[in-house]
Chain A
């Protein structure tokens, strides 16, 4: 059987490399390393930017709580919790992101699929419960802040409340879309991968 496949394996082995790997010279290697390092820096900057945005959003909530506290202490507490929650999430994301960079990257296929599946399940649960732990506090906090600091809260809230609902509804729709398009197909792929491994008794 192997003999019949030999010419195919030979053809596979003789296949030409494409750029930039076809260049074996030292300069070309240096160029590849440079581009990889540059990409790494760009990704790190992007990750940090997202973390900073989340932290600033939460930090603003904490700052707003101080303002509101002077007018309505109970509203100040609510806004404070919203801000603190966002900061906690930002820190948690930062830690998870940094730990994830190296975790299980070099694990065997079966270990990787199992780890990735577990991590994905957590992400899916978080995404599905987004309205409760992220959107609802923002809705409450924003409206409490506006209501507590405005001279005519009823008329201002009549405008601000529907706007925040619309914005958060859009955020919810975007999260569901991301769940449907990215996380669920990836979970299905990992399930198939694990099924393929279990079929062989390895996972």
Chain B
């Protein structure tokens, strides 16, 4: 979903935006919310998208704009709700794996890794997992494409060193 024609109403635009991006919006909500607060954050993201839709200037694609709104909402919302997880961070800010953990599935491992990341790294890694290109991630975060590459390389290496 790229550009929305001028004939679409706000409600139609919102609906098509949601239909095209619901997976990614939910992934962002899940990554930033904890302890069952995912739906609350998702609702907040949807509300912010709805409220801001009229302000979409078309300087980026609507999808990119939606990820920006979602991430910005998630970063501020997390602290407001006081749901900051208790973190065990390593030197690079990544969470240390639990010593008592046994074999786990991929999702549990990813959730553990993502939950231990800081806001910026979390945004980068989640967007990477959601198959956005480096260019798209750069547009969402405001970083240069090469810096997105460098940072993601470090994150991937940290992940592999810990879990693989």
Contact = CB atoms under 8 A, between A and B. Distances in A.
A and B pair up = yes
Q: Which of B60, B68, B78, B156 has the most CB of A within 10 A?
A: B68
Contacts of A4: 160, 164
Nearest to B126: A12
A108 B142 contact: yes
| B contact patch SS | helix
Interface in B46-63: 46-48, 50-52, 54-57, 60
Interface in B26-76: 26-27, 38-39, 42-43, 46-48, 50-52, 54-57, 60, 65, 68-69, 71-73, 75-76
Contact of A21 (B22, B55, B65, B79): B22
Interface residues of B, number: 67
Contacts of A109: 68, 71-72, 75, 120, 123, 140-142
B14 A196 contact: no
A70 interface: no
A7 B106 contact: yes
| A contact patch SS | helix
A40 B50 contact: yes
Contacts of A192: 118-120
Interface string A182-197: 1001100110110011
Q: Which of A4, A182, A185, A200 has the most CB of B within 10 A?
A: A200
B129 interface: yes
Nearest to B128: A9
Interface of A: 1-2, 4-5, 7-13, 15, 17-18, 21, 24, 29-30, 32-33, 35-37, 39-40, 43, 101-102, 104-113, 116, 181-182, 185-186, 189-190, 192-193, 196-197, 199-203
Interface of B: 11, 14-15, 18-19, 22-23, 25-27, 38-39, 42-43, 46-48, 50-52, 54-57, 60, 65, 68-69, 71-73, 75-76, 78-80, 82, 84, 105-107, 109-110, 118-121, 123, 129-131, 139-144, 147-148, 150-151, 153, 156-157, 159-160, 164
